[in-house]
Structure 1
């Protein structure tokens, strides 16, 4: 039996924004398929999951650019401050009152509502005119955040964060392939083969 002594080296560059983005894309595709076929079963749940993944996609891309272009970048810093720091490093001054950048705040607010979900009590105490036979059962139990659960809002957020991503990697002068997960692996012989048993 021959035994070899080798030196193994490996390096992994894992960029999670790709995995999160792929999850969001999968959910968006499923939502659009349901919409096309008129299947409404669970679509609001799929939209909720997709919007959360889109928010995560944006922030993980923000962290990636920050790591690449900002000295001593702190991923756990307050969200708005991270955006400000990255935009400054890229030399960009976007208008947050219009798309695509206006979608960031909406998406972040939606994500925060879901991530930090808390009970809410809304009381109604009003005098109304009453007409016999008229239906007054108009008490709406939906939360305000449910207004965002539309296919159009999913498309808007997806398109806008992708447009911002393209702008950012161009401004950062990062090639698309550099944003992908990749690794290196090698084995080098460090001793001549030794034969055991004979």
Structure 2
């Protein structure tokens, strides 16, 4: 009996920032669809998830550009140091006090609060003038991070990190196709038949 063999080879370049950005975009689209029809059911939960994914998206893009343009880049470095290294390598001098760059800190702070969640206490203890017919149960006992759960802030962060990404890849001279996940494979019949018994 003659046995033939094939040589299989495969390679895939996985750029996770695409998957994370797609997840954030999916959530953003769903939130905007809910907004368009006036549905608020669970929208804050979706915004929370979207903001976290936007933060992950930014950092994974940061890591991608860092790997491409910063010699000896270490993904596990302190976040602010990585940003500093990348903008320096690109020759940029952004103003972090204004958009789009100011959104980086806001988004990172939100992500850190969620990632390192810990208990908190919200209290109201104040004396106010009494007025008949006034509603006095207007307490705002939300956590500080809950103020970020707005569609406006979500859009701001999404727009700003996309603007930064576009600036970075253009400045770095990275073609868009180089940022995509791609792969190749081949299956080749080995011509020499191998004889075996059994």
TM above 0.5: yes
Unaligned regions of 5+ residues in structure 2, if any? none
Aligned to 1:166: 166
Alignment of 1:50-129 (within 5 A): 50-129=50-129
Is the CA contact 2:122–2:143 (under 8 Å) kept in the aligned structure 1? no
Of the structure 1 ranges 24-33 and 3-12, higher mean CA displacement relative to structure 2 is found in 3-12
1:66-88 CA-to-partner distances (Å, cap 9, x unmatched) read: 11111111101110000000111
| TM-score after normalising by structure 2 | 0.91
Instruction: For 1:36 and 1:190, locate their aligned partners in 2 and report how far apart those are by CA, in whole Å.
Output: 59
Instruction: For 1:62 and 1:112, locate their aligned partners in 2 and report how far apart those are by CA, in whole Å.
Output: 17
Aligned to 1:18: 18
Instruction: For 1:161 and 1:112, locate their aligned partners in 2 and report how far apart those are by CA, in whole Å.
Output: 17
- Root-mean-square deviation over aligned CA pairs: 2.0
Is the CA contact 2:122–2:142 (under 8 Å) kept in the aligned structure 1? no
| TM-score after normalising by structure 1 | 0.91
3-state SS in 1 of match to 2:34: helix
Aligned to 1:182: 182
Count how many residue pairs are aligned between Structure 1 and Structure 2. 198
Unaligned regions of 5+ residues in structure 1, if any? none
Instruction: For 1:180 and 1:68, locate their aligned partners in 2 and report how far apart those are by CA, in whole Å.
Output: 14
Q: CA deviation at 1:107?
A: 0.7
Instruction: For 1:122 and 1:26, locate their aligned partners in 2 and report how far apart those are by CA, in whole Å.
Output: 33
